[in-house]
Amino acid sequence: MKTSLSLFVKQRRKQVGMTQEDLSYAAGVGLRFVRELEQGKPTLRIDKVNQVLGLFGFELGPVEINRDEKS
């Protein structure tokens, strides 16, 4: 299931012209991790997600839940 996080990472990666392999190398995470992140795997290590997001100048943080959206 694609999530806003997975879509964000994929879009940013493509904007800077990186492959998944390029991103994994630059972030210091495995290629499998990048693939799982972009596919929306529900259980990922926060520190590794932040390693990837850090390349784009972002980090994970609390976001208010929109109770009107269906989960």
In the predicted structure, residue 66 carries a pLDDT above the cut 90: no
In which residue are the tokens 């390693």 written? Answer: 51
Q: How far apart are CA 58 and CA 71, in angstroms?
A: 25
- The structural domain count of the chain equals 1
- Output the furthest CA–CA distance in the chain (Å, rounded): 39
Q: What is the mean pLDDT of the chain?
A: 93
Query: Could you tell me the pLDDT band of residue 69, with boundaries at 50, 70 and 90?
Result: low
Q: What is the pTM of this model?
A: 0.86
Per-residue pLDDT reduced to its tens digit, 15-29 = 999 999 999 999 999
Average pLDDT rounded to a whole number, residues 53-61: 97
In the predicted structure, residue 70 carries a pLDDT above the cut 70: no
What domain range is 45 assigned to? 4-54
| CATH at residue 32 | 1.10.260.40
